[in-house]
Amino acid sequence: MVTKKKYYTGPQKKMARYAKAIAHPARVYILDFLADNIDKCCYSGDMAEDIPIARSTLSEHLKALKEAGLIQGEINPPYIKYCINKENWEEAREMFEGFFRK
Amino acid sequence: MVTKKKYYTGPQKKMARYAKAIAHPARVYILDFLADNIDKCCYSGDMAEDIPIARSTLSEHLKALKEAGLIQGEINPPYIKYCINKENWEEAREMFEGFFRK
DNA sequence: CCTTTGTTTCGTAATTCTACGAAATACAAA
DNA sequence: TTTGTATTTCGTAGAATTACGAAACAAAGG
């Protein structure tokens, strides 16, 4: 039997995870919208009109981005204010920069 | 009925497509490997030992990357020499840079 | 306390992804 | 022409993603 590496490295997995978060046009839209100004915040409803999906689906995409760490949500019912998670956003930026600049 | 944008924009879709190509650790590995030196080329077998998947699966990942435009393959049976598709690689680099630098 | 409002969660269905081994392919060498 | 080598394609299966509308939620206002 040939010896194989058993697992992917941490950075490889992290990179893939960030990329997957961006890998849907709706999520690209959301991130574009929020990253426009790094301190910008918005509510789910602010985007709902401009995106060709149901509100519940938009909510799931927001959840996916939150789980990936790229955004965060401040709960203030019935509103939830979303904004970029600056720390992870910067980390992702650096990872992609390093990835492409080899 | 509320007026919604019907479609995502071209750049949003393109961005998502590139991100999806990177959204798997095996493909991150492959791109890392090839982009190490932008002119580096390699054969499928060169990577097979270092990655925890079957050769056929590796082949499918290579196909996915080729279809996404990030790599290209020069056929020279039974070898196929893969390398970065420089033009699209640069385009992707710029897209991600612009995406994160807002 | 009942209703309204903005949002998320649930149930469900269709599609896509990931993976493997077996079989096919295409040229080179014997 | 047969065999060998490197790789891809095929058939299949299980898991994950994406989508929707209905229902649930939680606070505010009547």
Give B44-94 pLDDT, tens digit per residue: 888 998 899 999 999 999 999 999 999 998 877 667 889 999 999 999 999
Statement: residue B1 has pLDDT above 70:
no
Q: Supply the angle between the helices A10-22 and A25-35 in degrees, to the nearest 10.
A: 90
pTM above 0.85, yes or no: yes
CB < 7 Å to strand D — which of 8-47 in chain B? 43-46
Q: Where are the beta strands (DSSP E) in B21-94?
A: 41-43, 71-76, 79-84
Q: Is A84 on the interface with B (CB under 8 A)?
A: no
CA distance A76 to chain B (A): 26
Q: What is the pLDDT of residue A2?
A: 40
Nearest chain B residue to A9, by CA: B25
Radius of gyration of the CA atoms of chain B, in A: 16
Q: What is the pLDDT of residue A75?
A: 77
Q: Is A76 on the interface with B (CB under 8 A)?
A: no
Q: Give the Å distances, CA to CA, from A68 to A60, A65, A72, A74.
A: 12, 5, 10, 16
Protein CA A78 to sugar C1' D26 (Å): 7
